[in-house]
Amino acid sequence: MRIRKNLCSGLATVLLAISASLFASCQKIDEAAPEQIYYIEASERFYIPDITESDETITEIIPETASVTETTEITSEITETPEISATETESVTEPESVSETQTETEAPTETTTEITTETEIQTEIVTETLPVTETLPVQAALYEMSYPAESSFVKPLGRTFMRNGARILSHTCSGVEFAFRGTAADITLTSNCKTSKARAAFYVNGELVKDTMLNNTEETFKIFESDTPQNCIISVVKLSEAAYSNIGVKNISVTSEYGIIPTPARKHKIEFIGDSITCGYGIDAADQYEAFATTNENGEKTYAALVGKHFKADYNVISWSGIGVYSSYTESSKPNQSFLMPPIYGKTAPNELSNDMWDFTQWQPDLVVINLGTNDNTWTKGIQDRADLFGTAYYEFIEQVREANPNAYIICSLGVMGSRLLPEIKEQVALYSANTGDYRITTFEFDYRDGVNDGFGAGFHPSAVTHQKMADKLIPFIEQIMGW
């Protein structure tokens, strides 16, 4: 039989159907749309994949039995005529019980296809390559929409909570992340604006686009703008630590085709528990003599963030400058127990904003890295009786962390600014494993910082170079024990 078919018309119909289907499925953005994301790396993940201008795209839209071979002219009418005989070359009616194979032949005035009655699946060989302009999808309408930073629309990064309609970012590297396709995105942040202001960073597809101090109680930032709709992953991250000002993500406004949705969870999850080193204290300072301020604190440059990014993991940071397990930083002969990690570890936010206890079932890490003991050493000072008190407190903290994270592997680390208490930590880890039979725990020592060659942060803290070296040493250790 002869089949005359307008491929251009068919493709247009299919594209319209695809566009209508996408638009309809995204009306309930919190239900259907998450299935449209694939998640690899920030620079590689997209909201809704673009239909590219290529011959391959045409082949995908045509039914699977078609293949493109050469360029000829195809007309638009499809007809059927009576059954074919061995000598007939005219149009025929095909029997329902017989599969047919179509091959295309050329006639002087029109393209025809000859049908033979064989047992193979019917295949149409399409002999046309369309101009690339024919494959462009129909663009959906753009709408200006606003959203609160609720978990229906964004993925919280780290321990965050909602208060007065805003998502509060307290901890280092806490934030929100969402995906959308559109032409613009504005984000409104609030801050309690203490003397030490909060520092925030904005990323588009993993690239830093803005790093700012929050000097006002409320401010709106334009994070993305484009003449044509683009697929975007947008992240808002708090760079400064929990000890100082907080940030509230109050509103997200986008000009978008389908609204915004939270990015999906990554394959691995890591939690870091630490002190000023893990906070990124003074990491952006010119040298060790520059006074610390939140303007030179940057959690995204720490070993913790570098390790998290290396493993493409969601990472959670619980840290506070000067904090210890038994004694926080002190120059006194008495231990400083005004604030310690064990009491604040179980809280959602370790400050005046929230005394709520964190629900650990919300986010269970595969790995927990503890880096505490540097500040305890300012009190223990090599005195064994004091080290014993630290050891007892450290053992109890291991129990606390294990109870909160029953399936995580635990690394108890120390170093970079001194590792005098590491022998005590090793002793407590060994004792814990012997007492409990829990051997999913180990110790790790960072190399002492080389400030002469690598520079210092404020107050002789590790520089960005030193943090990179810390990450470079910890990464293969994690690869070995976790198999990542």
**DSSP letter for each residue of 103-172:** EEEE-SSSEEEEEEE-SSPP--EE-----GGGGPPPPPPPEEEEE-S-TTT-EEESSEEEETTEEEE-ST
Per-residue pLDDT at 127: 38
Q: Please answer whether residues 260 and 252 qualify as being in contact, where contact means their C-beta atoms are separated by less than 8 angstroms.
A: yes
Using one digit for the tens of pLDDT, what is the confidence trace for 293-309? 999 999 999 999 999 99
CA R_g for the chain = 31
Assigned CATH for 143-262: 2.60.120.260
Options 3.20.20.370, 3.40.50.1110, 3.30.420.40, 1.20.140.150; which CATH number does 269-482 get?
3.40.50.1110
Which of the two residues, 82 and 479, has the higher pLDDT score?
479
Q: Percent of the chain at pLDDT above 90?
A: 67
Rounded Cα gap, residues 313 and 365, in angstroms:
10
Rounded Cα gap, residues 293 and 241, in angstroms:
11
Rounded Cα gap, residues 35 and 264, in angstroms:
9
Q: Vertex 436, ends 433 and 437: CA angle to 5°?
A: 65
Q: Please answer whether residues 370 and 445 qualify as being in contact, where contact means their C-beta atoms are separated by less than 8 angstroms.
A: no
Q: Vertex 274, ends 271 and 276: CA angle to 5°?
A: 135
Kindly indicate the confidence band of residue 194, based on its pLDDT and cuts at 50, 70 and 90: confident
Q: Where are the domains positioned within the chain?
A: 7-37+52-135, 143-262, 269-482
381, two tokens = 């000072």
Q: Percent of the chain at pLDDT above 70?
A: 71
Kindly indicate the confidence band of residue 354, based on its pLDDT and cuts at 50, 70 and 90: low
Rounded Cα gap, residues 446 and 270, in angstroms:
18
- Say what angle helices 422-436 and 384-404 make with each other, to 10 degrees: 50
The amino acid at residue 4 is R
Kindly indicate the confidence band of residue 140, based on its pLDDT and cuts at 50, 70 and 90: confident
Say whether pLDDT at 465 is over 60.
yes
Per-residue pLDDT at 356: 85
Q: Strands 269-274 and 314-319, how do they pair?
A: parallel
Say whether pLDDT at 375 is over 60.
yes
Rounded Cα gap, residues 412 and 414, in angstroms:
7
Using one digit for the tens of pLDDT, what is the confidence trace for 215-245? 999 999 999 999 999 999 999 999 999 998 8
- Can 143-262 and 269-482 be said to share one CATH topology? no
The pLDDT mean for the chain works out to: 79
Q: Please answer whether residues 46 and 165 qualify as being in contact, where contact means their C-beta atoms are separated by less than 8 angstroms.
A: no
The amino acid at residue 130 is L
Kindly indicate the confidence band of residue 117, based on its pLDDT and cuts at 50, 70 and 90: very low
Per-residue pLDDT at 355: 73
Using one digit for the tens of pLDDT, what is the confidence trace for 439-459? 999 999 999 999 999 999 999
Q: Please answer whether residues 142 and 241 qualify as being in contact, where contact means their C-beta atoms are separated by less than 8 angstroms.
A: no
- Neighbouring residues of 164: CB distance < 8 A, sequence distance ≥ 6: 248
Q: Please answer whether residues 404 and 316 qualify as being in contact, where contact means their C-beta atoms are separated by less than 8 angstroms.
A: no
Up-side HSE of residue 367: CA atoms within 13 Å toward CB? 28
**SS3 label, residue 415:** strand
Nearest to 413, CA basis, from 300, 320, 275:
275
**SS3 label, residue 87:** coil
Kindly indicate the confidence band of residue 350, based on its pLDDT and cuts at 50, 70 and 90: confident
